[in-house]
């Protein structure tokens, strides 16, 4: 059934058809996940982490430009493919260009829930795009930094900055790796800074970012933004609390 649905979605994408989807009631969801039935313009099927996702543009009646979102394919039912509602190749291509920029800057498939913020980040003006980004800065212990500095494909290389070695240190790094930040004191437990320029929705709510970053546990110390620093601290305290008295 899933294969048949995927084939029907691929046909709708190729033929630029509007479709009606319904999200299953019993599946996992986030606070801003769509519910019930909704109409969208399907853009692409993507494999991400462990599942297939449908990336679509919400049907924005009267404006022609809608929010771009993604949902796991197995959480959706394709209720209808509308033969009488198709859009132009140009409109489809413009949506794909926006999607390409969103994927590049977000480093994942979560694009927030603010259409105007998406449009600003997808601007053809590079300076305007860069103004939409916020800087995540954290410092690493040596073992964590060794893993992090190898991840050149996770986020845009032009918006990534790594620590230089401590005085007297010599370790291999890729020739294209942006090791431009001054390290902290050798006496610091976390002497290696890392900076990433990311969309605000990625820093504020993206699960993939948190799974990766928080997965280093005490191996990192978040400095900015303050809200993410506090979230990390609370996660670590909650984990410790589970084992108290055991």
User: For residue 6, is pLDDT > 90?
Assistant: no
Q: Give the mean pLDDT of 206-232.
A: 96
Domain boundaries defined on the chain? 2-127, 133-243
pLDDT at position 31 is 72
pLDDT at position 140 is 98
Lowest mean pLDDT among 4-8, 165-169, 238-242: 4-8
Three-state SS sequence of the chain: CHHHHHHHHHHHHHCCEEEEEEECCCCCCCCCCCCCEEEEEEEEEEEECCEEEEEEEECCCCCCCCCEEEEEHHHEEEEEEEEEEECCHHHHHHHHHHHHHHHHHHCCCCCCCCHHHHHHHCCCCHHHHHHCCEEEEEEECHHHHHHHCCCCCCCCHHHEEEECCCCCCCCCCCCCCCEEECCCCCCCCCCEEEEEEECHHHHHHCHHHHHHHHCCHHHEEEEECHHHHHHHHHHHHHHHHHHCCC
pLDDT band at 1 (very low <50, low <70, confident <90, very high): very low
Q: Give the mean pLDDT of 119-147.
A: 94
User: For residue 60, is pLDDT > 70?
Assistant: yes
pLDDT at position 2 is 66
Q: Which residue has the higher pLDDT, 32 or 123?
A: 123
pLDDT band at 106 (very low <50, low <70, confident <90, very high): very high
Nearest to 196 by CA among 209, 207, 205: 209
Considering the chain, what percentage of its residues have pLDDT values greater than 70? 99
pLDDT band at 113 (very low <50, low <70, confident <90, very high): very high
């Amino acid at each position: 059934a899933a294969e048949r649905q995927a084939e029907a979605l691929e046909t709708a994408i190729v033929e630029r058809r509007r479709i009606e989807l319904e999200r299953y009631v019993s599946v996992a969801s986030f606070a801003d996940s769509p519910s019930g039935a909704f109409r969208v313009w399907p853009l692409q099927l993507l494999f991400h982490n462990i599942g297939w996702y449908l990336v679509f543009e919400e049907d924005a009646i009267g404006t022609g430009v809608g929010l771009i979102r993604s949902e796991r394919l197995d959480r959706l039912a394709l209720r209808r493919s509308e033969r009488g509602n198709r859009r132009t190749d140009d409109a489809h291509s413009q949506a794909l260009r926006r999607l390409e920029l969103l994927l590049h800057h977000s480093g994942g498939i979560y694009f927030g829930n603010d259409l105007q913020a998406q449009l600003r980040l997808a601007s053809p003006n590079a300076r305007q795009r860069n103004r939409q980004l916020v800087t995540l800065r954290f410092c690493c212990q040596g073992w964590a930094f060794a893993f992090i500095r190898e991840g050149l494909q996770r986020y845009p290389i032009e918006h990534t900055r790594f620590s230089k070695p401590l005085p007297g240190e010599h370790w291999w790094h890729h020739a294209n790796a942006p090791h431009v930040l001054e390290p902290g004191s050798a006496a610091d437990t976390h002497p290696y800074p890392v900076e990433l320029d990311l969309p605000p929705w990625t820093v504020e709510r993206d699960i993939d970012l948190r799974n990766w970053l928080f997965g280093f546990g005490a191996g990192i110390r978040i400095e900015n933004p303050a809200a993410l620093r506090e979230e990390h601290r609370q996660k670590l305290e909650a984990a410790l609390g589970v084992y108290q008295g055991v």
